[in-house]
Amino acid sequence: MDVDRREIVAGIAATALLPTTAAAAPAADWRPPAPDRELRVPVRGGSIYVRLNGDLAAKKPPVLFIHGGPGSGHSGFLPALQLADARAVILYDQLDAGLSDRPADPANWTVERFVSEVDALRAALKLDRLHVVGQSWGSTIALEYAARRPAGLVSLTLGSPLISVKSWEKSTRAQLATLPADVRRTIETHEAAGTTADPAYAKAMDVFYAHFLYRQTPPAYITAYKKRPGLTLNPVVYNAMWGPGEIAATGTLKSYDGEPLLPRLAVPTLVICGAYDEMTPAAVKPLVARIPGGRLVSIPDAGHAVASDAPAAYVAAVRAHLESTDARR
C-alpha cells in the first residue's frame, strides 16, 4: 500500500539479488532536480498534479511512475528522477492525494477510475510510447492498465505489488507471525474487535512498520520535499479503500483480485520487492511465475518502501529493465 505510516496511522524468467552498492549509485550529494515542467491534467472528478523531468521528445520512451496508497503521493519516487539523464520521467499525484484536487467524493474511489487517469495523462502529454512503473497500490493500477494491452506500452514494472488481497494478507500475516507475541496479540485483538483507533494498536503497528514498511531512514531530500505546502497524505481515501492498517483490508478493496490478469501481460515485466517487504519475495514469486517472461528482483535490507530504503539499488533495477527493453526494440 506504501502509505507513510509515520504520517498516517488512523513462468519466471529470473530471480536477481542486487547488491546495495550498485554501480549506478548516485553521488552522495545528489539531490532531486526541480521539475522541468509542472501542469494539471483534467481527469474524471477533478484535476491532478503532474511533474516532468527530461525531454519527452528524447529517443528513449518516457517512464510514468504510479504511487501507492491509496491517498499517498509522488514524493517516494524522487530517487527515480535520476533516470531523467536518459529519458523523460513523469511523476503525478492521484486524485484526492498529494497536490491534486481533493473532491472527497467516494464515487471517484474505484480501481477503474484511477486507471483512467493514465489515459488522461497520456492524452495530455501526447505519450505515444511509455514505460509504466507502479508501487504497491500503484502496481494495482499499473497491472490493470497493462492487462488491457494498450498501444504504445513498452514495459511494466510492479513494485511491492498489491496483485490480490488474498496474496497480500497471506504475506503480511506471515510477517506478523515473526514479531513478538505481545505485538501480534495487540494487533490481532484490536483488528478483531474493530478498536483500531486505540493508541495501543498504533504503537504495535509501528513495530510492524519498522520491520516491514520503512527499514531505513529516508533520504533527507525526501523528508524535506514532503514539507512542501499542500503535499500531504490523505487518510480518508486510504481508510475507505483499504482500512486502518497495512496488514488486512477492510475497505472497498477487500475483495480485489487481479491474479487472473497476470497471464494477459504482453510486455516485458519486472517485479521488485524488498527482502523484508510487506509483500515478500517468497509470496510474490508464484505470482510472477504466471506472468509471461516475468522477472523478480529482491532488494536487500529494504522493506515495502523500496525506493526510499534502497534508492541506489531500486533505481539501478528499474534502469536496467528500461534499458534492456529499449534495446529489444
Is residue 277 part of the annotated active site? The answer reads yes
Residue from 72, 75, 100, 136 carrying the catalytic annotation: 136
Question: How many Å apart are CA 56 and CA 141, to the nearest integer?
Answer: 23
Q: Closest by alpha carbon to 138, among 97, 106, 169, 81?
A: 97
Chain segment 160-219, per-residue pLDDT in tens: 999 999 999 999 999 999 999 999 999 999 999 999 999 999 999 999 999 999 999 999
Identify the band that residue 10 occupies on the pLDDT scale cut at 50, 70 and 90. very low
Chain segment 36-58, per-residue pLDDT in tens: 999 999 999 999 999 999 999 99
Residue 148: per-residue pLDDT: 98
Domains observed in the chain: 14-176+219-328 (3.40.50.1820)
Residue from 2, 304, 308, 321 carrying the catalytic annotation: 304
Half-sphere exposure of 226 (CA within 13 A, CB side): 17
The one-letter code for the residue type at 293 is: G
Is residue 36 part of the annotated active site? The answer reads no
Q: What is the pTM of this model?
A: 0.93
Is residue 131 part of the annotated active site? The answer reads no
Residue from 100, 277, 308, 321 carrying the catalytic annotation: 277
Identify the band that residue 12 occupies on the pLDDT scale cut at 50, 70 and 90. very low
Question: How many Å apart are CA 313 and CA 155, to the nearest integer?
Answer: 19
- Lowest pLDDT segment from 2-11, 43-52, 95-104, 308-317: 2-11
Question: How many Å apart are CA 79 and CA 314, to the nearest integer?
Answer: 9
Query: Which cell goes with 244?
Result: 486502518
Q: Closest by alpha carbon to 302, among 280, 278, 274?
A: 274
Q: Where are the beta strands (DSSP E) in 146-243?
A: 153-159
Question: How many Å apart are CA 117 and CA 156, to the nearest integer?
Answer: 17
